[in-house]
Structure 1
């Protein structure tokens, strides 16, 4: 009896104008960045996601322009639009948002940085922000300790974007905890920071790309050779010895490189077969091997059972990996929820092997459901007359249209109930009451 009632009810439910949510695929991630306490990702639709600090799972934040790149500092995020504008979110105690002031408020809505346009690349670290314009000029703002902003003036705080003077045309900029690197249009590598007043030129040319960790850096040259310099105490340079290198040295036996990344005393490469190799310090499992130890890993070792990786982003003690299928994976330290795993793990639990980040239904901001002109009824079969939304045209019998709603597709033609779960709850309650009225008893074993 109950099964027949449910079947009839589900048929009738199709005619009830209700908003129903259906699961859809996760976003296809194309870019990501790790800050100190906050991380961010960019999907193929130009939408920005962030987590960490006050967000334990990824949440999508709205920006009125399509975004093409993201960057993250200590507790702030930058987003670059296809139109060349820069948008910022997060903390602003040293003017790192570039809004012309300092404050101690977490800005949880993206705001456009005034005064700069025509931007093609962005970078950030700690309490600093950088932008590279279409003419090769570098702009920087935020906290200028150790001349890391490149202005060399002794001024500690820049609250608005300020052009870095007296440097050649630039095509890449990298910001780290102790240094700022720029790659010129002639493939020369320049750097400033570490108390220097001007910039230094490294004795390395024909550079294709450069990355920097906390205390060590790498460059891949046009001939695909790998060069490294900086701290080698934990074996993070990958040359099988524990020696600091003040100047770039050739790192041997590294072939088929797609990408290099550097963290805090740890290093990673993605090879052309899309496997990931890591070396250096593994005290909290940051190398992704599935365990932690205090043995120094002086040469690259493969992360087992982890393939199909397109790009890797290394933070101070945690890592993000974007796979070819657009999924996002993470491992490492999780003291501020910066892994974005939320309910998948305990808060403050470190993860020692790659784990996929799940984008949940609550990640998507949705517009409030408009109030309807319908009255309420305890009977789910009863549909009040003239039940329409004030902002809607009366139904003409056309089929509902699909609207994106984050991890769900909203069938916009259904607007009676605000949530599918509410509908199920109403169905269950009504069927239980009906069975009691018809049979005089409730047999739980018949329900499913």
Structure 2
């Protein structure tokens, strides 16, 4: 057994991430290519994880359900340690959700496994990566609970999957099983998928949203679903975006974080909790600055990376698993203990993984059958443990 050390990730910056591309559900202040590339290399899903090594190969671990590990196995074997996905190379970004996985190759093609393969079939599933038909010149990918999205180099956005709230963005609420272009949207440089809503960041620093809006997560001042993009009000100078279950997050160029939507579990980070505090317009997260990157989940919490390498989080704590030494709802930013020197982070439904400057991967949270944290010797873990691989 060996560590996931800097020998594995040495040269992690050698593979360029095209244009201003972002991995799923990640963001960073004052676009920095190094941060963007690092963030694209790791992705925590609901019950599995994906990482890219220096050679552009992908490693996965966690549940085999629906084939989401991409290793040709859907049985009950417990993949507690990272396993290399065969026949998948030259990858520059990965994205993991609850039942699906995406990978973006250097050549601009997109590869999928698990469910929501984008091949036109209603119930498509594969336990090994297959190319998504009809997609080329892609620069960013994002998976969500209901749907998947990609961004092309021409600034257009394409999506497919379940469409209960109009989250596909094509003007309807009919499910879509192959990529279709999001209507009335161009000049986009970043995308993010929530549970049933979607976000896009344009080159002019404005944010646009569509899909489910019961908690105000579209940020347009109303609470009605929208099947085509609407502008998030009052936001300018945004450099990146991220989406959670029923809330949305934006990072401005000055390193401040702005958030809107549900506050049922303290998602707004303002010290309060409860749905009565939901907001359908962006508000600043107080007492939080110098943020370099943000990562939300399909859950009810948010984590951010500061420029000093520390990680902070708030929202639903699922016991004491996500934010370490503090139980219950964390309604304002709380530093994750025992973790620093971080250069990239990704958060799943109940766990997080980070990449440190020395090339090691660390994880903490709900270990879900001893599979998610990449360490055979622990169960649930409130403090970070190093990920190992065979």
The TM-score, its normalising length taken from structure 1, stands at 0.69
1:101 has 2:136 as partner? no
After superposition, the CA RMSD in angstroms is 2.3
Pick the aligned partner of 2:359 from 326, 329, 332: 326
Q: What SS is found at the alignment partner of 1:344?
A: coil
Q: 1:103 to 1:227 in 2, by over 3 A?
A: closer
CA 1:24–1:193: 2 relative to 1, 3 Å: closer
Question: Where do residues 92-171 of structure 1 align in structure 2 (5 Å cutoff)?
Answer: 96-103=116-123, 105=125, 107-156=126-175, 158-171=176-189
Alpha-carbon distance between aligned partners in 2 of 1:236 and 1:22, rounded to the nearest angstrom? 37
Q: What's the CA shift for 1:127?
A: 4.0
Tell me which residue corresponds to 1:244: 278
Q: In the alignment, what sits opposite 1:364? A: none
Provide, for residues 62-105 of structure 1, a one-character-per-residue CA deviation record: whole Å limited to 9, x for no partner: 235401000112211111000101111113xxxx1112324465
**Following the alignment from structure 2 to structure 1, what is the Cα–Cα distance between the partners of residues 253 and 161?**
33
Kept after mapping to 1: 8 A contact 2:318/2:350: no
Specify which of 84, 90, 96 is matched with residue 72 of structure 1. 96
Question: C-alpha distance in 2, partners of 1:338/1:212?
Answer: 25
- 1:351 is the counterpart of 2:361: no
| Structure 2 counterpart SS, 1:298 | strand
Q: For 2:263 and 2:156, locate their aligned partners in 1 and report how far apart those are by CA, in whole Å.
A: 33
Equivalent residue number for residue 42 of structure 2 = 32
**Higher alpha-carbon deviation: 277-286 or 77-86:** 277-286
Output aligned runs, 1:180-195, within 5 Å: 180-194=198-212, 195=225
Which protein is richer in helix relative to its size? 1
Residue 331 of structure 1 contacts residue 353 of structure 1 at CA under 8 Å; is this kept in 2?
Answer: yes
Gaps of 5+ in 2: 13-37, 65-78, 213-224
8 Å CA contact 2:322–2:366 kept in 1: the answer is no
Tell me what 1:4 maps to: none
Q: Go from structure 1 to structure 2 and tell me whether the alpha carbon gap of 1:88 and 1:324 turns closer, same or farther (over 3 Å shift).
A: same
Which TM-score applies when normalising by structure 2?
0.78
- Equivalent pairs counted in the alignment come to 329
Name the SS of the counterpart of 1:148 in structure 2. Answer: coil
Q: Secondary structure at the match of 1:279?
A: strand
Contact 2:338 2:383 in 1 (8 A): no
Distance across 2 between alignment mates of 1:23 and 1:241: 40
> Is 1:281–2:316 an aligned residue pair?
yes
Query: What secondary structure is seen at the aligned counterpart in 1 of 2:260?
Result: strand
1:27 alignment partner, SS class: helix
CA apart distance, 1:134 = 0.9
Task: State the distance in 2 between where 1:227 and 1:23 align.
Answer: 37
- Structure 1 residue ranges without an equivalent (≥5): 1-20, 361-448
Q: Secondary structure at the match of 1:197?
A: strand
Q: What are the residue-to-residue correspondences of 1:16-415 with 2, within 5 Å?
A: 27-28=8-9, 30=38, 31-54=41-64, 55-91=79-115, 96-103=116-123, 105=125, 107-156=126-175, 158-194=176-212, 195-203=225-233, 204-242=235-273, 243-263=277-297, 264-289=299-324, 291=325, 293-294=327-328, 296-335=329-368, 339-341=372-374, 343-345=376-378, 349-360=379-390
Q: 1:284 to 1:83 in 2, by over 3 A?
A: same
Q: Is the CA contact 1:37–1:336 (under 8 Å) kept in the aligned structure 2?
A: no
Structure 1 residue 247, shift from structure 2 partner: 0.7
Q: CA deviation at 1:201?
A: 0.9
Structure ID, larger Rg: 1
Higher strand share: 2
Check conservation: 2:2, 2:388, Cα contact below 8 A.
no
8 A Cα contact 1:51 1:337, kept in partner: no
| 1:131-182 deviation digits (Å, cap 9, x = unpaired) | 11110111111212211111122322x2222122221321101001132000
**Partners of 2:44 and 2:90 in 1: how far apart?**
21
8 Å contact from structure 2 (residues 311, 340) kept in 1: yes
Query: Secondary structure at the residue paired with 1:145?
Result: coil
**Distance in 2 of aligned mates of 1:120 and 1:299:** 34
Q: CA 1:127–1:344 in structure 2 vs 1: closer, same or farther (change >3 Å)?
A: farther
Q: Report the 3-state secondary structure (helix = DSSP H, G, I; strand = E; otherwise coil) of the residue aligned with 1:40.
A: strand
**Structure 1 CA distance, aligned partners of 2:371 and 2:165?**
27
Instruction: State how far apart, in whole Å, the 1-side matches of 2:340 and 2:3 are.
Output: 27
- How many angstroms apart in 2 are the aligned matches of 1:22 and 1:149? 42
